Structure 1
């Protein structure tokens, strides 16, 4: 990694800045403007883009048991830097990033002469900010009682949000687990479903002016995960700490900080269209790796029996069938899911591991993270929540050649739960294990912070297509949201590509898929995760078109480039991803009408490409298509259907 911080300048601000003066920072291209204010001792900020206000004057500050940094504030000093960094990161939407931003560190003092730094990074489409508290005198720690930070949007704004769940509700009291439905284009200030506010990320459409995606990043064991409050009638959404009842009431909801200490980054990505939202890398730009990888980790594709064959399939013979399926597909992994401790037995697992390895397939193994936080019964339990048991288990896993774990059932954002995520990750790295989280919180820059972190669910994922017909009926709607919201800020372990028409073992019962085959293939590209647990089943080798299986044998899971092409969240999405020199352009349609749209695809200009489409009745077809020399073409996407173009 190269990190150049240039043009550092330290200067004293004029005394008049303490009386309602604005400090302005403009992006490198001049389109994004951050305004920082102190009015009558109260700090705030606003964000403009292309001379339009997207985030109106919004509150800033912290209240701690050490001091109040939200009022009675005066300027002390400011320091400006230019940030210029390059980094490589295989596990996100692009493999190589050049991050450039202007940084300003504003030091303010409260009435007790205690200092706080307001740190802002301003890029061409992103604002990131955090607070830093120094150690002053003998005080070496504090509790953050409240964060005043808010995001204020005008009354002509609509929202694309998913609610934070009430703690200890849902199946076996496992919520919140970031598995709620989204509402699209709701009026600003609409009350949340549970009265608990909204989870990150949060998308706002400021009519006629542009878009803003709000989230947070850099959350580790030194803080809690946060979410947004319900919006006020004036359109202000504030940072809110976890509900005290999360994790069965265990742990504090207010984060404790050692001093000097910093909060996580709050991020706002803005644009006059959706391209910056889909393509942003700000969750990773502003964070640093927390440790070195113990080895080079290998990413790729996986099969898993549980998604279609469910609990009863976690037996030795059925796992052999899915290992064979992975080998037939040329996949790198198989996931052996929950209940293996009783239905296979730990003594038999080494033989199963060896069989997989003999077929060129490595293993991910499922664990229940739960200790005393919820009632989720599946085993293996009590091996990830305790450091002694965890290290013993991971040593055994390494000795048997297991490559990764899928750890489930967390249900909370308290600081002690974030610490559990971090402890699992850091211990796993010592044993050469990759980690996927399920039933969990949103990842917040973790791909860069933790080198063995792979992905998180944190979405209403493919298992719900098995559980309810409603999820199937809403599948296209949900899919058209994720690239703009959930998957825009972090890897999403959805478990896509369900090629069975009926969601059961024998493809003749259960819930019914309403989307087309090509729609399903498209989600392999639409959803980004460097390890994909694909939901194909052994019967799909013979009961779907051979070109579908050939596509699934070749589709990659890591990307060098991602480009937004067209779309609107909740209606349709067309995007492009590149792996080496091969491009995949995918589109899906959630509207009730056939979608006809003209697109520019310069990567295919004057080339013959392979074109997959769901035709009328969502009948899958594949053909060759010549793109004109200008890279322009027209796409027709059926309702609940998809298209794929690839070179």
Structure 2
């Protein structure tokens, strides 16, 4: 039976390849050659689809992305240009082969820890008249379309791509201006009316009733980071590489260019960027433990970082709350270049081993901030990584890479391997954004790449856009919970600030409040004492980018809910989406005298009505109801 199956697959592949070659051989002036790729088991006209075309007049390829038969990305240019070959034009199809990619894997962090990915991959083999080769890989799943270029032979360094994304006329866009650290506000535009300039590679569009989030996956030091470039009045967003020349030695496989598409819930709940990434390079993940942390920078600033006694006080407070980590930011270490590291006792210059010992006795692990410049050479990495492991430090927050150059991604490759070897959790700041890293390197708990809590420029609209843009693609270290900061855009809503701790997913949820601010808000403190950092399931309950977002995240049998809204006060009507049965739902909302907790019994398929103040939000926890149950506490 297996032999017959293999024969049928082989015959089908040969037929597809022959048909593709015959179609591609149309005479000049004929209609473009067209090939389609559909999601696995997709019903006719439903789900994502890809349509590849080859212009017979010049041999230039383009790709269209559809959802439910409607175009969400118009036919858009494809191609890559190297020192010795222009692989964006003059192409002819040599053959096509298809395969199904079906994978199950677990992650340490993210929207859900157990993943099942199923995709159809089509490989289109192209050649030029002078013998240059380009393979185009197109993958289609139930929540997205992606493509990448494979150059089987060495054709020199890459000098650019012609890749682009063209939107249907009238499409809406939610974009952030590009910065080298990916920290900028998101704002809404008409896709054609957005100002000319460069935008971050995490752009959300809406065409008709469907959404499309443009991202990338599997970016390593073999290539360069990308951004989007938009010309005034155009509906096309071109891909621009950081490096003018990407160094290549031999064959090349580029990162995936991904379009997550579907309704808003499909995009928000998608794990497509991780699904495209390589499997984990860390075999033993038992030491990787996501959890909330008390982050002392916004709570105490640099003086706290320089004081052992203050850090011990933060450890005590974290222990009282049941938070497994504290994060010690800048100021805790001297310049290592001033130390004589040939002295076997050089580590005694730091009080960190004493803090680690103190935390260990109280069940609190210590994570430390360290500047990228102190880890950018092999000698520095050999100095620091084994030492931090020896001290018992649990993780590193590495800051100020501020680059998406190929050289920087080579550094990422090295530091990711090094931190895994020395059992150090990782939080990247001043960094790129997740591009499948959580699957490949599961010790990466979170990354900044966001205009976060410490900024003074945030807007309510920005807060309500992040769940549909930056946070879709991976852990986001926004650092919520800084109730003491008057600069936050939801300053009138402590409940909205509390809701961000659920709304924004991060493997290490760095809580940025002062102990005093939590003690003044016992309901917030009580909620944060229960919140996990890893989730079994995530659902979008309600939302509209830039206007509001409500997400529910499940940990075992409890659902935690976070909501934020921009604009006037209202009563939010939130569909629960928990299915049948009775649930106890405890909400935390803003009241005249502070936060108010209220419990009620609701069916899991009904709506939750929640009062929300202007530019505010709420937090909630839901658990199965039974007679006599009055709380969802464990």
| TM-score, length-scaled by structure 2 | 0.88
Partner of 1:184: 188
1:579 corresponds to 2:555 = yes
After superposition, the C-alpha distances for 1:23-50 in whole angstroms (9 at most, x for unaligned) are 0112232422211000120100111212
CA distance in 2, matches of 1:435, 1:588: 28
CA distance in 2, matches of 1:179, 1:584: 27
1:567–1:185 CA distance, 2 compared to 1 (3 A): farther
CA distance in 2, matches of 1:34, 1:606: 42
Partner of 2:342: none
After superposition, the C-alpha distances for 1:332-357 in whole angstroms (9 at most, x for unaligned) are 11111112124998432211221111
Match of 1:483 among 467, 475, 486: 467
1:535 corresponds to 2:512 = yes
Please report how far the alpha carbon of residue 151 of structure 1 lies from its aligned counterpart in structure 2 after TM superposition: 0.4
Partner of 2:297: 306
Partner of 1:554: 530
1:274 corresponds to 2:281 = no
CA distance in 2, matches of 1:630, 1:65: 59
CA distance in 2, matches of 1:229, 1:618: 48
Partner of 1:236: 236
CA distance in 1, matches of 2:436, 2:488: 35
Match of 1:264 among 232, 251, 255: 255
Tell me, yes or no, if the aligned pair for 2:294 and 2:512 is still in contact at 8 Å: yes
After superposition, the C-alpha distances for 1:528-580 in whole angstroms (9 at most, x for unaligned) are 11111111222134311x22211111100001101111111111001111011
CA distance in 2, matches of 1:43, 1:117: 12
Please report how far the alpha carbon of residue 441 of structure 1 lies from its aligned counterpart in structure 2 after TM superposition: 1.1
Tell me, yes or no, if the aligned pair for 2:108 and 2:289 is still in contact at 8 Å: no
CA distance in 2, matches of 1:198, 1:360: 43
In terms of mean alpha carbon deviation, does 52-61 or 593-602 score higher?
593-602
CA distance in 2, matches of 1:489, 1:81: 25
1:493 corresponds to 2:507 = no
Tell me, yes or no, if the aligned pair for 2:523 and 2:588 is still in contact at 8 Å: no
Please report how far the alpha carbon of residue 189 of structure 1 lies from its aligned counterpart in structure 2 after TM superposition: 4.5
Partner of 1:636: 611
1:435–1:600 CA distance, 2 compared to 1 (3 A): closer
Aligned-residue CA RMSD (Å): 2.2
Partner of 1:362: 365
1:578–1:134 CA distance, 2 compared to 1 (3 A): same
2:582 aligned counterpart, secondary structure: coil
1:148 corresponds to 2:149 = no
CA distance in 2, matches of 1:564, 1:531: 21
Match of 1:161 among 175, 193, 197: 175
CA distance in 1, matches of 2:89, 2:25: 12
Tell me, yes or no, if the aligned pair for 1:126 and 1:282 is still in contact at 8 Å: yes
How many corresponding residue pairs? Answer: 587
1:24 corresponds to 2:32 = no
CA distance in 1, matches of 2:490, 2:110: 29
1:72 aligned counterpart, secondary structure: coil
Tell me, yes or no, if the aligned pair for 2:453 and 2:488 is still in contact at 8 Å: no
Please report how far the alpha carbon of residue 445 of structure 1 lies from its aligned counterpart in structure 2 after TM superposition: 0.5
Instruction: Give unmatched runs, 5+ long, in structure 2.
Output: 1-5, 27-31, 336-346, 624-634
1:78–1:496 CA distance, 2 compared to 1 (3 A): same
Please report how far the alpha carbon of residue 295 of structure 1 lies from its aligned counterpart in structure 2 after TM superposition: 4.8
1:300 aligned counterpart, secondary structure: coil
After superposition, the C-alpha distances for 1:116-136 in whole angstroms (9 at most, x for unaligned) are 11001111220011000112x
Partner of 1:402: 393
Tell me, yes or no, if the aligned pair for 1:226 and 1:239 is still in contact at 8 Å: yes
| TM-score, length-scaled by structure 1 | 0.87
1:624 corresponds to 2:624 = no
CA distance in 2, matches of 1:188, 1:457: 29
CA distance in 2, matches of 1:492, 1:98: 22
CA distance in 1, matches of 2:195, 2:283: 43
Tell me, yes or no, if the aligned pair for 2:294 and 2:314 is still in contact at 8 Å: yes
CA distance in 2, matches of 1:346, 1:570: 49
After superposition, the C-alpha distances for 1:358-413 in whole angstroms (9 at most, x for unaligned) are 1111111111103xxxxxxxxxxxx2111111122111111110111000001111
Tell me, yes or no, if the aligned pair for 2:174 and 2:189 is still in contact at 8 Å: yes
Tell me, yes or no, if the aligned pair for 1:519 and 1:642 is still in contact at 8 Å: yes
1:70 corresponds to 2:88 = yes
1:598–1:429 CA distance, 2 compared to 1 (3 A): closer
Tell me, yes or no, if the aligned pair for 2:577 and 2:604 is still in contact at 8 Å: no
CA distance in 2, matches of 1:512, 1:144: 43
1:254 aligned counterpart, secondary structure: coil
Partner of 1:112: 130
CA distance in 1, matches of 2:158, 2:9: 33
Match of 2:22 among 6, 12, 15: 15
1:45 corresponds to 2:63 = yes
After superposition, the C-alpha distances for 1:584-606 in whole angstroms (9 at most, x for unaligned) are 12221112242432524325742
CA distance in 1, matches of 2:439, 2:371: 25
Please report how far the alpha carbon of residue 156 of structure 1 lies from its aligned counterpart in structure 2 after TM superposition: 0.2
CA distance in 1, matches of 2:405, 2:609: 49
